[in-house]
Amino acid sequence: METTAPEAKPEPPAPQASNAKPTWEGLVLGALNKVKRYPRRAAMLRQQGVPYIRFVMDREGKVLSSRIERSSGFRSLDDEAVSLPKRAQPLPKLPAEVKGDSIELVVPVEFFMR
């Protein structure tokens, strides 16, 4: 006698916790995200976007300059993004393999309503 029960399928493997060391870039982005605030006016108007900021930091994580690289189309989001690096300092120190006294980074800052 045949059954009509569905065929048992093996469970997918459980997700593995990553033991990879966080990258220096990931640590910098994490520091920026920790101090990011959604501007009240932008939230009220339901403005969303991804401004790109360009900033320069020294080896010790001090921000030397910060400016908008590519606008989100909304001034309040752009202004908040530009203020992040200085508010988050000191940022993670430059790793030994990065040469020079400073580094210039361009990073996206995501503002999305939940």
Give the start-to-end residue ranges of the domains of the chain: 24-108
Judged by DSSP in three states, 56 sits in strand
pLDDT at 81: 97
For the chain (114 residues), the mean pLDDT of every run of 10, in chain order, is 56 54 87 95 95 96 97 97 97 92 95 89
Q: How far apart are the C-alpha atoms of 56 and 77, rounded to whole Å?
A: 20
pLDDT at 58: 96
Residue entry with tokens 């999305």:
112
Q: How far apart are the C-alpha atoms of 108 and 110, rounded to whole Å?
A: 6
Residue in 9, 104, 103 with CA at minimum distance from that of residue 54 = 104
Q: Write the class of the CATH domain 24-108.
A: alpha beta
pLDDT at 70: 98
Half-sphere exposure of 112 (CA within 13 A, CB side): 4
